[in-house]
Structure 1
Amino acid sequence: MAAWVWAMLSAFVLLHLLQKLFNSKRKTKKRNMPPGPRGLPILGHLHLLGKSPHRALHDLARKHGPIMGMRFGFVPTVVVSSPEAAELVLRTHDVTFAGRPSQDAFHYISYGQKNLAFSPYGPYWREMRKLCTVELLSTAKINQFLPMREAEIRLLVGRLREAGERGEAVDLTTMLLSLVRDMNCLMLFGRKFGDDAGSLDDREFKEVILEASELGAQFNIADYFPCVGVFDVQGINRKMKGLAKIFDRFLEKIIDEHVQNRNRNRNKNQQQRGDDAAEDFVDTMMGILESGRATFKFDRSHVKAILLDMLIAGTDSSATVADWALAELIKHPEAMRKLQKELEAAVGMGSMVEQRHLERLEYLDQVVKETLRLHTIAPLMLPHESLEDCDLKGFHIPRKTRIMINIWAIMRDPSVWPDPESFVPERFAGGGKRMDVTGQHFELIPFGAGRRSCPGRQVGLTAVKLILSQLVHCFDWELPNGMKHADMDMAELFGIVTGRIEHLNVKPVYRLLSQ
Structure 2
Amino acid sequence: MFYNMRDTFHQSDFVEYFINNSPFTRLCLSFAVLHYIMSFLHVIAYDANKQLENLSSFYVNYILPYVKRRSSYTAVAAAVVVYFSYRVHKMSEIPKNLQHIPAVPYWPFMRSLLSGESIDHRTRNYILPVIANSPNGLYLRPVRRGWTVGVAGPATMKRLLLRADDFEKSPMFAKQDSLFNKFMGKENIVLLNGSVWKKHRMIANPAFHRSMPVKLFGRLCEKMMLRFEIEGDGLGNVDVANFLQRFTLDVIGLAAFGYDFEALDNPENEKVDTYNSIMAGIQSAVYFVFPILEKRFLWALPKRRDLYRKLDDMNEIFYSVIQHKRDTLASMKNSIEDTEKDLLTLMLEANEEAVDADHRLSNLELRDNLAIFFLAGHDTTSNALTFALYFLAANPHIQVKAREEVLDIMGDGDDVIFPTSTQCTDMKYVYMIMKETLRMCPPAVGTSPRRSNKDMDLVGTLIPEGTPLNADIYSMHHDPNIWKDPETFIPERFASRGESETKAGRGLAWAPFGNGARQCIGMNFSLAEQKVLLAMLLRRFTWELPEDSINKDGLKIGGGIGIMYAKDMHLKFTKRF
TM-score scaled by structure 1? 0.81
Partner in structure 2 of residue 121 of structure 1 = 193
Q: Is the 8 A contact 2:235 2:572 kept in 1?
A: no
1:400 corresponds to 2:466:
yes
1:210 corresponds to 2:276:
yes
Partner in structure 2 of residue 56 of structure 1 = 122
Query: What is the CA distance between 1:260 and its match in structure 2?
Result: 4.4
Query: Which aligned pairs between 1:92-491 and structure 2 lie closer than 5 A?
Result: 93-100=163-170, 101-102=172-173, 103-105=176-178, 106-111=180-185, 113-117=186-190, 119-134=191-206, 136-138=207-209, 140-142=210-212, 145-160=213-228, 169-194=237-262, 203-219=269-285, 230-231=296-297, 238=305, 241-262=308-329, 266=330, 271=332, 274-276=335-337, 278-287=340-349, 293=355, 295-296=358-359, 298-350=361-413, 352=417, 354-355=419-420, 356-433=422-499, 435=501, 442-480=508-546, 483=548, 487=552, 490-491=555-556
Distance in 2 separating the partners of 1:131 and 1:510: 44
* 1:445–1:437 CA distance, 2 compared to 1 (3 A): farther
Query: What is the CA distance between 1:20 and its match in structure 2?
Result: 8.4
Query: What is the CA distance between 1:75 and its match in structure 2?
Result: 3.0
Query: 2:201 is matched by which residue type in structure 1?
Result: R
Unaligned runs of 5+ in 1: none
**Across the two proteins, how many residue pairs are aligned to each other?**
488
Q: Is the 8 A contact 1:255 1:282 kept in 2?
A: yes
Partner in structure 1 of residue 567 of structure 2 = 501
Query: What is the CA distance between 1:215 and its match in structure 2?
Result: 3.1
* 1:108–1:485 CA distance, 2 compared to 1 (3 A): closer
> What secondary structure does 2:181 align onto?
helix
Q: Comparing both structures, which one devotes a greater share of its residues to helix?
A: 2
Q: Is the 8 A contact 2:402 2:430 kept in 1?
A: yes
* 1:223–1:150 CA distance, 2 compared to 1 (3 A): same
Q: Is the 8 A contact 1:99 1:121 kept in 2?
A: yes
* Amino-acid identity (%): 20
* 1:368–1:167 CA distance, 2 compared to 1 (3 A): closer
Distance in 2 separating the partners of 1:228 and 1:275: 44
TM-score scaled by structure 2? 0.73
> What secondary structure does 1:431 align onto?
coil
Query: 1:253 is matched by which residue type in structure 2?
Result: S
Query: 1:95 is matched by which residue type in structure 2?
Result: D
Query: What is the CA distance between 1:377 and its match in structure 2?
Result: 0.7
Partner in structure 1 of residue 150 of structure 2 = 79
- Cα-Cα RMSD: 3.9
After superposition, the C-alpha distances for 1:470-506 in whole angstroms (9 at most, x for unaligned) are 10111122555x5589826620111243111113242
Query: What is the CA distance between 1:4 and its match in structure 2?
Result: 6.3
> What secondary structure does 2:563 align onto?
coil
Query: What is the CA distance between 1:324 and its match in structure 2?
Result: 0.9
Distance in 2 separating the partners of 1:436 and 1:241: 49
Q: Is the 8 A contact 2:239 2:571 kept in 1?
A: yes
Query: What is the CA distance between 1:373 and its match in structure 2?
Result: 0.8
Q: Is the 8 A contact 1:164 1:509 kept in 2?
A: no
Which deviates more from structure 2 when the two are superposed, residues 284-293 or residues 211-220? 284-293
Unaligned runs of 5+ in 2: 1-24, 35-76
1:46 corresponds to 2:110:
yes
Higher relative contact order (CA 8 A, sep 6+): 1
Query: 1:336 is matched by which residue type in structure 2?
Result: Q
